[in-house]
């Protein structure tokens, strides 16, 4: 496995593979890899000749007061896991390599509307930062496929939109969320939960399941389900930002409760901000 830290080294390696006619998969990550990430890597390894994993805690997708400084950085342990799996290359650039003109001055990729709803309300600028770094990584690696988790559902919808709008020749693959046995979605941010909060956290997924079951059973309007779910989360100790039933393809409010839909939620629990979603297909 190769580990490269600069754009120049990355380009040299991927150009050589392209020259040999090999197909490539990119798995963009911020490191601190867990079983959810490894599922994405497995998909890359299965579907392409060469798999590149990027590890970069992208400063421009964090807002002021968010957890950029304390976000776990575990490159050595990540590298060991990826090497064991047979990953071909890790790209772990420095900030100055990714943003040579600085965070503020760098060109940004904005996706109007989709970026301003749901998580975009509490995290203004977050999806612009995500879209920018993902476009840069796709341009650098020029993979045939790029693999993302459905756990960050809004992110996945936005990336698909960027790729479509900018006519980028890459297949975006979404992979279902990996969960703990009690239903909690795996996330690097689960480490911010105290033992007491960890015991409460699976209620987020249970609440989404209850909403999905009510949608499938039919009944009153989605706004009622959303409001009741928010109340259910408050009762067990969450501070919910939103629970929303949306169309799965473009996150608009559904005119009818016809699938494919997705129920999405974001809620704070102590120091952690948890997000989760459940597709109704
Ligand atoms: O999902 C993530 O880990 C990040 O948002 C991503 C896609 C790697 C961009 O920094």
pLDDT digits (tens, 9 = 90+) for 194-213: 999 999 999 999 999 999 99
pLDDT of 58 > 80? The answer is: yes
Q: What percent of the chain has pLDDT over 70?
A: 100
The residues near 93 (Cβ < 8 Å, ≥ 6 apart) are: 5, 6, 7, 10, 54, 56
Q: How far is the CA of 84 from the centre of ligand 1 (A)?
A: 22
Q: How far is the CA of 158 from the centre of ligand 1 (A)?
A: 12
> How far is the C-alpha of 9 from the C-alpha of 64, rounded, in Å?
32
- To the query of whether residue 5 is one of the catalytic residues in this protein, the response is no
pLDDT digits (tens, 9 = 90+) for 71-101: 999 999 999 999 999 999 999 999 999 999 9
pLDDT for the residue numbered 209: 98
Bridge partners (DSSP) listed for residue 272: 269
pLDDT for the residue numbered 6: 98
Q: Is 194 helix (H, G, I), strand (E, B) or coil?
A: coil
Name the pLDDT band for 218 (thresholds 50, 70, 90). Answer: confident
pLDDT of 114 > 90? The answer is: yes
pLDDT for the residue numbered 134: 99
Q: Which of 134, 138, 160 to mutate to test the pocket of ligand 1 (most atoms within 8 A of CB)?
A: 134
Name the pLDDT band for 221 (thresholds 50, 70, 90). Answer: confident
C-alpha torsion angle, residues 16, 40, 149, 137 (rounded to 10) = -10
């Amino acid at each position: 496995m190769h580990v490269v830290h600069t754009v120049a080294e990355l380009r040299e390696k991927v150009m050589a593979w392209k020259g040999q006619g090999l197909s490539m998969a990119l798995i963009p990550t911020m490191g601190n890899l867990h079983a959810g990430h490894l599922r994405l890597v497995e998909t890359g390894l299965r579907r392409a000749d060469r798999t590149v994993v990027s590890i970069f805690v992208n400063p421009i997708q964090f807002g002021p007061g968010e957890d950029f400084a304390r976000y776990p950085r575990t490159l050595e342990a990540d590298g060991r896991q990826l090497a064991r799996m047979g990953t071909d290359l890790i790209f772990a650039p420095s900030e100055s390599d990714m943003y040579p003109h600085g965070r503020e001055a760098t060109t940004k990729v904005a996706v109007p509307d989709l970026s301003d709803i749901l998580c975009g309300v509490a995290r203004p600028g977050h999806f612009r930062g995500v879209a920018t770094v993902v476009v840069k990584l796709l341009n650098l690696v020029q993979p045939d496929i790029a693999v993302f988790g459905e756990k960050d559902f809004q992110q996945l919808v936005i990336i698909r939109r960027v790729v479509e709008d900018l006519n980028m020749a890459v297949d975006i693959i979404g992979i279902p969320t990996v969960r703990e046995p009690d239903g909690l979605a795996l996330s690097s941010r689960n480490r911010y939960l105290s033992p007491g909060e960890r015991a409460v956290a699976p209620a987020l997924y249970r609440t989404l399941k209850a909403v999905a079951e009510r949608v499938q059973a039919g009944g009153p309007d989605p706004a009622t389900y959303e409001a009741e779910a928010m109340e259910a989360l408050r009762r067990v100790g969450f501070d919910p930002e939103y629970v929303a039933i949306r169309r799965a393809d473009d996150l608009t409010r559904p005119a009818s409760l016809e699938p494919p839909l997705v129920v999405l939620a974001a809620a704070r629990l102590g120091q952690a901000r948890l997000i989760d979603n459940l597709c109704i297909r």
